[in-house]
Structure 1
Amino acid sequence: MTIATISYSGKTVVAEELTPEAFAKFGSVISPRDQIAAELPAKGAGNIFTQGDVVKPEGKYEQSKFNPESYCSFNLQRFMPPATIDRTAKHYDAMMIERHPMSSQTFFPMGVDKEEAAYLVLATENDAEGMPDLSKLKAFVARGNQSVTYNAAVWHGSTCSLRDYLDMTMFMYTNGVAADITEVVQISGGLPVDY
């Protein structure tokens, strides 16, 4: 549900590499390159590494004024490059930003080479009124073996595919009430991102 339209007149945002540390204020990243030791054991060792709780999904629907009951939802999504991306120039104009006030949201890319630059991740903090502070927006380039979790109520861009198409599994809690699930802010004229 669109709740506002704002404009951005700041500098072009330059995307950085997605790492768990760089993204920590917005949520979590599952990134084998950053979280698993490089050495491989002998063949036949089976499961040789587990790092628990790299993502802690959160659902806050008990705070809903519409419906306090929720359930876990896994969705299959296919993303195409948005109309406002120029993959040759490595430039993207973000036209909206959204948040999910009652749930975290996790994206798992599927069928992408682990080193391929697969999608852009945009996130920002709230301003004093609880709206997105576009002057603090950060952009990240996510590789094919990285998943990202936006914490509940974190303003973020919609998934921007850097490929011809990108299949993802998306997990979040939902109560089926649109007003609780997603709030959208349109960006008049767009917000420029170079990657």
Structure 2
Amino acid sequence: MTVASLEYNGKPVVAEELTPEAFKKFGYVISPKDQAPKIPEGTYGMAYRLSDASIPVNNYGNSEFKTEAPCAFNLQRFKPPKALDRENKVYNLPNVERHPYTTQTFFPMGVDAEKAAYLVVVCENDENKLPDLSTLRVFVARGNQSVTYGAAVWHGGTCSLIDQLDMTMFMYDNGVKADEVHLVETSGLRIEYHL
């Protein structure tokens, strides 16, 4: 459901490296490079476990619609969006969205661990609970990095930097479109990525 249209008049936003620390205000990042230790030789079976690397949230109990909101894993396939210029490494962000009652987690599948695979775009709420585009941050996610957007966190749709990006996506959903997603159209928002 589209709730607003916003125009951005600021400087281009430059993407930064995605790390759990840099992203923690907006949700979780699961990143073996940043979070898992080197495993010694001769170890068999599970050698390391990071508990609570990402915690799913279901706040549908706060919705006016009193329906069940089961969790589900979904398979999604992405191609680079038309608004992405891969040659010049520029993305003109068309919109941001949020899921008011649930976290949303994306797990890349079959992508080279060190390859820049997708852009992660997030921003804070303003006083009216609309996206505050002046707080927009952009991260370049590698092939072995998963991201969880916190419940009600404004974020861009998945922007694939590669020809085909397969992901498993996990979220709760009560089946009510007005609850599932809020969309805000954006104009004038230029993102540059150089990583």
TM-score, normalised to structure 1's length?
Answer: 0.97
Distance in 2 (CA, whole Å) between partners of 1:159 and 1:53 is 24
Distance in 2 (CA, whole Å) between partners of 1:129 and 1:99 is 14
Give 1:144 shift: 0.2
Q: Distance in 1 between matches of 2:13 and 2:43?
A: 46
> What pairs with 1:29-68 in structure 2 (closer than 5 Å)?
29-37=29-37, 39-68=38-67
Greater Cα shift, 175-184 or 41-50? 41-50
The one-letter code sitting in structure 2 at the alignment partner of 1:124 is C
Gaps of 5+ in 1: none
Q: Structure 1: how far apart are the matches of 2:85 and 2:164?
A: 15
Counterparts of 1:99 and 1:40 in 2: how far apart (Å)? 38
Aligned to 1:193: 191
Alpha-carbon distance in 2 for matches of 1:121, 1:70: 26
Deviation of 1:43 (Å): 3.6
Q: Give the equivalent residue in structure 1 for 2:15.
A: 15
Any gaps of 5 or more consecutive residues in structure 2? none
Q: CA separation in 2, counterparts of 1:89 and 1:22?
A: 25
* Deviation per residue, 1:165-193 (Å, 9 max, x gap): 100000000100000010000013x4100
Partner of 1:124: 123
Q: In 2, Cα distance between the equivalents of 1:137 and 1:5?
A: 16
Q: Distance in 2 between matches of 1:68 and 1:151?
A: 21
Structure 2 residue identity aligned to 1:64: S
| 1:103 match | 102
Computed over aligned residues only, the root mean square deviation of the Cα atoms, in angstroms, reads 0.9
Are 1:125 and 1:154, in contact at CA under 8 Å, matched by a contact in 2?
yes
Is residue 6 of structure 1 aligned with residue 6 of structure 2?
Answer: yes
CA contact under 8 A between 1:123 and 1:137: conserved in structure 2?
A: yes
Question: Which letter does structure 1 place at the counterpart of 2:109?
Answer: M
* 1:27 and 2:19 aligned: no
Superposed counterparts of 1:33-182, under 5 Å: 33-37=33-37, 39-182=38-181
* Runs of 4 or more consecutive aligned structure 1 residues displaced over 3 Å after TM superposition: none
Q: What displacement does 1:68 show? A: 4.0
TM-score relative to the length of structure 2: 0.97
Offset, 1:44: 4.9
Distance 1:64 1:133 in 2: 24
CA distances 1:62-119 after superposition (whole Å, capped 9, x unpaired): 0111134210011100011000111111110100000000000000000000000000
In the alignment, the residues of structure 1 paired with residue 53 and residue 119 of structure 2 have an alpha-carbon distance, to the nearest angstrom, of 21
